[in-house]
Amino acid sequence: MSLPIGVTSVGAACAHVLLTADPIAKLMAARATARAWRLGHLTHDFDVPMPDRPARPATPELLPPAQMPRRGKIGSERARIAMIHALAHIEFVAIDLAFDLIGRFGAQFPAAFTDEWMRVGADEAMHFALLDRRLRQMGSHYGALPAHDGLWQAATETADDALARLAIVPMVLEARALDITPATVTRFEDAGDEPTVKILRRIIVDEIRHVRAGTNWFIEEANRRNLNPPIHYQMLVKRHFRGSVKPPFNDSARRQAGLTRDFYAALAT
């Protein structure tokens, strides 16, 4: 799939991804955008504003987190499908989060920032494709179950500050995935679901790299502004994150990602 005629800048290409509603079409738009940038077919211009909210397909039905049905024990196929669907939704929204980060804030950073987050966006698209394919192997598909609508709140809350966006999305939300995914892998292993285990192991390796990207760019930009990175991170999390930063932490994976305890230990509740 190629980008539409006339989409020749990074800003236009990122907006195209966000304004594509159909899941498979969004996946293809993300891949096409990352490929076009890699091949030098997009100018490093941010001439198209990002939408306040991405386009969304008719399904899944989006509910407040508190209204989401309980998934039950992971041992049943029904519960495993529900868990994989929830993970697929996270990856679907993560596509938009990556390209919104580029399109909204890329002009503030060197081209290497766009390089890195284009790779992240392509990863998120690949993760979604793997999980959706697994759902189809199990007789379901993305959109078959409701999903919660809380993830995009992080983007809305941080739409005006690149450091806040980096702090909340990769350094809180994706870092939290590093904490909980190993236990999720164990539950799928116990259920004998090796195909899903392989997907989740691939995802956590990529997520370490994503958290590292967020942490590195946060530190570089904070230093450029003469800010103390851990202290400013803690201030931004307290200001913009509606949830809690709570243990247990996967300190080893976080450390591999450059997110050391001096950033998050003081926030633990």
How many CB atoms are located within 10 Å of the residue 31 CB? 18
Structural contact between residues 138 and 81, judged by C-beta atoms closer than 8 angstroms: yes
Per-residue confidence at 42, pLDDT binned at 50, 70, 90?
very high
Q: CA-based angle 27:33:36, to the nearest 5?
A: 140
Q: How far apart are CA 211 and CA 133, in angstroms?
A: 25
Taking a C-beta distance cutoff of 8 angstroms, is the pair 152, 54 a contact?
yes
Tokens of 203: 């995802």
pLDDT at 70 over 90: no
Altogether, the residues listed in the chain come to a count of 269
- At residue 25, the pLDDT reads 97
Arithmetic mean of pLDDT, 212-220: 98
Q: How many of the other CB atoms lie within 10 Å of CB of 79?
A: 16
Q: What is the mean pLDDT of the chain?
A: 95
Task: Say yes or no to pLDDT of 73 above 70.
Answer: no
Give per-residue burial for 145-174: e unless 16+ CB within 10 Å, then b: bbbbbbbbebbebbeeebbbbbbbbbbbbb
Residue 181: predicted pLDDT: 95
Q: What local confidence, expressed as pLDDT, does residue 72 receive?
A: 63
pLDDT tier, 88 (very low <50, low <70, confident <90, very high otherwise)? very high
Please give the structure tokens belonging to residue 49: 């504003």
Q: Which residue has the higher pLDDT, 166 or 244?
A: 166
pLDDT at site 75: 74
pTM of the model: 0.96
CA distance 150 to 27: 21
- For 96-134, how does the pLDDT look when each residue is reduced to its tens digit (9 = 90+)? 999 999 999 999 999 999 999 999 999 999 999 999 999
Q: What is the pLDDT, as a whole number, of residue 203?
A: 97
- What whole-number percentage of the chain has pLDDT above 90? 91
pLDDT value for 27: 97
